[in-house]
A and B are shown apart, each in its own frame.
Chain A
Amino acid sequence: MPFVTALRSSSVVWGAFPLFALTAFLVVEWSRFAEPGFGTAVAEATAFPVFVVAAVCSACAAWEGGRLRRGGVWFSAPVRGRLRILVNTLSPVLALGSTSFAIAFVFASSTLGAFPAARDLLPLASAAVVTVSYALLGFCVGCATPRLIGAPLMLIGVYVWMTVPASSDIMWIRHLSGMQITSSSVVDSVEVTAFTAPVVLSVSLALAFFPLMSGAERSLREAGTAVCCGVIGSLVAWSLVADWGPGAPTTPRAGATVCAESNPTICLPGEYSGEVPRLHRIAGDVLADLEAAGFDRPHTLALVSAESPVSPGTWRFAPHPEHDDEFLRATIAWSAIPDSPDCFAHDDGYVGSDEDIRVWLLLLTEDGGTPGATLPEDASTRRVLPVLELSREEQMEWFDATVGALGDCAPTPEPPGRSA
């Protein structure tokens, strides 16, 4: 049937405008917490409404499958193959899904002020395949059930399947529903497997239900093959994510960092390059204070993935364009603390903390005035203030001892001024 006829007579016309409005709302909400100017975030924001787009598309497809069932199409001895009839029937549903993602893309792109590169489109590609798969699944279910059962069943079923596992205690199930629960950052990219696992599962489920859509051609061999596809696909998908934690694994973002040569060299992701002059100005002050306190001046300050090794003389830091100057001072001061393992991950009862040396670094790099004047008058500040009265060597000894304890997951020493 011509596309216009298919569209006019389909259930898509009822669902389109509510879905478009909801998609736009969800994308704008998601984008409020995303990185402005970051192309990958645009793709992730576009893919975010997949749980409603897939649910509505699946329900519409079930309705369309029910129409063919009501019309006796599969038992009318058609010359056209099942796939041809399926594509023709689902063309309005595919148009609905495509338009929803196009609207999501326009809103995400305009809200975040960026455009994703081709390599950033993986989240969107995954969401598109998941949507098509669940639409196919809905269509197959619709071919076997009355419309008034199939459509609500798929709407609720797909929505629940895509949203509830995200908060499940069973970690692996979180990564299979197709809802993307881990976001990339400017320094880390979500692993490709996080996008392929739900695709494998959804495609295999759609294939498993495929024999429901047939007339005289239904055969035991076809049903057996379909069930095997479903089982094998589900097992493959599960094996991909079986040992994952609450978030999907990430890898350092390739080619993301741009370095501005000066003293110190500042390495930032391209999206933050506009911050270099401000960081240079603040870093000059802060590093001078730290040098005066006995630190060796780093040749590079770098915002890179925690999983990327850094060379000696390079300090990691974590600035953000939305930080004010005061917070950036703190960020640069804290970059003097070297990497240490996550001791709490191995021992819940670990008693060490870097809180005291963080306060001490803030006190060292305070922007003039009485020591501690810019800090809240809390227990930590009171505990560390006496350290400033010690000699430079004693203070550095305490800092090194604390850093060493953190590195060994041993209890951290008390600030020396207090014990004395």
Chain B
Amino acid sequence: MPIQYVNCSFGYSRRGAVLSSLDFTFPSGNTVLLGPNGAGKSTLLKIGSSALLPRKGSVRLGELDTRSRRDRGPYRRRVAWMPQNIDCVPGLRVVEQVAYAGWLKGLGKDAAAEKASWALAQVDLTHQADSRVSELSGGQLRRVGVARALVHDAEVLLLDEPTAGMDPRQRRVFHKVLGGLRGRIDIVLSTHDVADLETTYDSVVVMLGGRIHFRGDVSEFLEKAPPETPAGRVAEAAYHGVTEGASPCLS
């Protein structure tokens, strides 16, 4: 079931609006969210996770509305979110970080511990389960973030630049994880990395200046590339094709 933004406005201060009267529904399946820095991708995902609440309008998942206190718990249970910055609770080991995230998302203590081991296995971090977070590399830390998002059985997974800082091998592992989840849950992933677009994602959303500038399936998106584009650069050229001439800021 996709996340729906209804007439949604948000700003970090009273003056500046990051999102303004946004009406939009994420497509089902695996969706990649593209856009330049400052386009509002992270804000859109934070609001989608209910970590932030819109100043106006609402965010819905089926009948659940994040503005309602009663709905917020069930909503959050069904939506997982990995933020751009992976903040970890100091003093906890890797497996405890993931289990704690599961507990925060409503799992019982035993279930959280069990699912934490499973989630670490999914991101190929089982061997680091008892390490301290400070001993991990940047890429490994992002995989901990992914494991924390996977630990509870969410219906929608929102991932904010999960592959930033990962080496090519780790990216392959990550895309394999996403491939394994395909069809089971809806995934929205924001990134600047447009490689493997055809094999990993079903839809593409491009944000510019706090607005949805493009929304369509991957083949529609790739058609935006000029015909003479070399085979390995099609996605990148399509992105430039979509964003060319558009204003980067919200007016």
Which residues of A pack against B, CB within 8 Å? 1-2, 5, 8-10, 67-68, 70-73, 75-81, 85, 88, 215-217
Contacts and interface: CB of A to CB of B under 8 A. Distances in A.
Say what secondary structure dominates the interface of chain A. Answer: loop
A10 B50 contact: no
Contact of B51 (A68, A70, A76, A85): A76
Interface of B: 49-53, 69, 73, 76-77, 79, 81, 83, 85, 87-92, 96, 99-101, 103-106, 109, 113
Contact of B81 (A2, A77, A215): A77
A79 B83 contact: no
A71 B76 contact: no
B96 A9 contact: yes
B103 A80 contact: yes
Given A5-B96, A72-B83, A77 B49 contact: yes
A81 B49 CA distance: 16
Given A2-B109, A67-B91, A76 B83 contact: yes
Nearest to A1: B100
Contacts of A88: 103
A11 to B, nearest CB: 9
A73 B53 contact: no
A70 B89 contact: yes
Given A76-B83, A216-B50, A71 B103 contact: no
Given A70-B89, A77-B51, A77-B81, 11 more contacts: A1-B96, A1-B99, A1-B100, A67-B89, A70-B90, A75-B51, A76-B51, A77-B49, A79-B73, A85-B104, A216-B51
B8 to A, nearest CB: 14
Contacts of B76: 77-79
A61 to B, nearest CB: 15
A80 B106 contact: yes
B248 to A, nearest CB: 26
Contacts of A70: 87-90
A71 B89 contact: yes
Contact of B104 (A5, A67, A80, A216): A80
A10 B73 CA distance: 27
B238 to A, nearest CB: 32
B79 A67 contact: no
A8 B91 CA distance: 8
A68 B79 CA distance: 21
